[in-house]
Amino acid sequence: MSINFPLILVLATSFTGLIWVLEIFVLRPKREAPNKEALQKEIPHIEKTSYREPLIVEYSISFFPVLLVVLVLRSFLAEPFQIPTGSMIPTLKIGDFILVNKFAYGIRLPVIGTKIIDVGEPKNGDVMVFIPPHSDDYLIKRVIGIPGDTIRYSDKKLYINGVEQTQTFVAKIPPNNPKYLVFEEVTGEAIHIIHKNVYQDDRAQEWLVPEGKYFMMGDNRDQSSDSRFWGYVSEENIVGQAFAIWLNKEPGLKPPGFSHSGWIE
């Protein structure tokens, strides 16, 4: 079961904000009431009593501004993610820390995902973070089909609306006894590298992308669970467009590094 961090952040911000408002309009006036009453009655030799804020109020006032800034930045501007699997190799490696543009496809309310301001739409070739139809976990794949597109995958070649997407052979890895093949592919306006295994596959599959849906595939074509297996991504489940790698931390005890940092193609 994954942790719903956006929901936790919204609840924490709402709770600390509510405590802060109660402190200003309810709690503080009650604590200061005896002093005000004494002054109004002009009681002689009265000393003003200082009432310390309760600990929960003190913490709420301290954390609320920080939580609010994080919520705004994370919900409407950019959000960090770490890549957990190899389905987007070689574009994204396991352990890559990436940044996701949250307003590229419209400004959405946190948690519920309702779009409130229309900014743009996903394009073929974009690398997109989304919630798949079969799980609540965020996934990242490449947009292969937008609403209305016909997608055909035949002999490990990709066709969009009947047009074969250019694949240029790059290398065999390793050269003498290859385990996978490297190709440069052009998808929409994106020029990127894909991996395919060495085995032939003569199957032909075809899909017509419905309205409000998107067809996604991983760049590690034969090692990716994507729309070929679990279907389309709904427009309301879009999270944002991945645009940069800022850090990589490989599994194990290796220290993080910046050798793989850069823009995502």
Q: Look up residue 49 and give its two tokens.
A: 């009593």
Distance of CA 47 to the CA centre of its chain: 56
Strand partners, 173: 180
Phi, psi of 25 (to 5 degrees): -100, -15
The residue from 102, 141, 196, 213 that is catalytic is 141
What are the DSSP calls for 86-135, one per residue? STTTTTS-TTEEEEEESSTT-EE-TTT--EEE------TT-EEEE--TT-
Nearest by Cα to 251 from 139, 129, 137, 96: 96
- Based on the residue annotation, tell me whether 87 is a catalytic residue of this protein: yes
> What gap in Å lies between CA 193 and CA 135, rounded to an integer?
27
* DSSP for 188-229, written as a single string: TTEEEEEEEESS----EEEEEPPTTEEEEE-SBGGG--SHHH
Active site residue 141: yes
DSSP state for residue 24 in the 8-state scheme: I
Q: Which of 60, 75, 87, 227 is catalytic?
A: 87
By annotation, the residues acting in catalysis are 87, 141
